[in-house]
Amino acid sequence: MTTPPLAQFPGQQAQAARDVNTASLCRIGQETVQDIVLRTMEIFQLLRNMQLPNGVTYHPNTHQDRLGKLQEHLRMLSVLFRKLRLVYDKCNENCAGLDPVPPEVRLQLIPYVEDESSKMDDRMASQMRATSEERREVLEVNKKLKQKNQQLKMIMDQLRNLIWEINSMLAVRS
């Protein structure tokens, strides 16, 4: 059994042409934006290298050449912005019949298929939670041990001082 050509389904053909057309328009728009950025960078480069006519190092020919290049870049930038506006308007026109779908509904439209990797992810997540809980407990015990060690150190210092005082008093008596 063969599928009939697209010519038998004019609605599908028009839809396919519109999809491709919109996608290609988006690609053209992207390239236009890249051209705009490139031209803008070139304009800034020209402006940085351009010397102001202050009379000291003024070369009229060089200045006029750079000014001409700058004007050409600005004109081309204007053309690129007009082209981008046309592409934008055409894309909006192509997408005008489409109903905007809220993000919550889009998530519901995506089918969820549970496979082995998602089960593994669930197991890994539960293991990570358990490990995280265990780490937190170990850190708490470690903190308590440090406090106990500090207390023992203080007690040992007090005992040392007490023994020192007792030995001093015994030495004075004898």
Percentage of the chain beyond pLDDT 90 is 40
Residue that wins the pLDDT comparison between 172 and 92: 172
Write out the two tokens for 104: 């919550």
Indicate the average pLDDT of the chain. 79
> Per-residue pLDDT for 2 more than 60?
no
Q: What's the pLDDT at 36?
A: 94
Between the alpha carbon of residue 174 and those of residues 156, 160, 161, 162, the distances in Å are 27, 21, 20, 19
Predicted TM-score of the model (pTM) = 0.45
Q: Counting Cβ atoms within 10 Å, is residue 66 exposed (0-12), middle (13-18) or buried (19+)?
A: middle
| Cα–Cα distance measured from residue 82 to residue 93, given in angstroms and rounded to the nearest whole number | 16
Q: Counting Cβ atoms within 10 Å, is residue 32 exposed (0-12), middle (13-18) or buried (19+)?
A: buried
Q: What's the pLDDT at 14?
A: 52
Write out the two tokens for 51: 């010397």
Start-to-end C-alpha separation, the chain: 120
> Per-residue pLDDT for 56 more than 80?
no
Q: What's the pLDDT at 108?
A: 66
Token look-up 């890994």 returns 124
Q: What's the pLDDT at 107?
A: 62
- Residue partners of 80: CB distance under 8 A and separation at least 6: 32, 35, 36, 39
Mean of the pLDDT values across residues 62-74?
85
* Contact in structure between 51 and 95 (CB atoms under 8 Å): no
Residue that wins the pLDDT comparison between 55 and 142: 142
DSSP annotation string for 70-106: HHHHHHHHHHHHHHHHHHHHHHHHHTTTSPP--HHHH
109-120: string of b/e by CB count within 10 Å (b at 16+)? eeeeeeeeeeee
> What are the pLDDT digits (tens) for 99-157?
676 666 666 666 666 666 666 677 788 888 889 999 999 999 999 999 999 999 999 99
| Kind and range of the H or E run holding 152 | helix 116-173
Mean of the pLDDT values across residues 26-52?
87
| Cα–Cα distance measured from residue 143 to residue 31, given in angstroms and rounded to the nearest whole number | 59
Max avg pLDDT among 1-10, 41-50, 100-109:
41-50
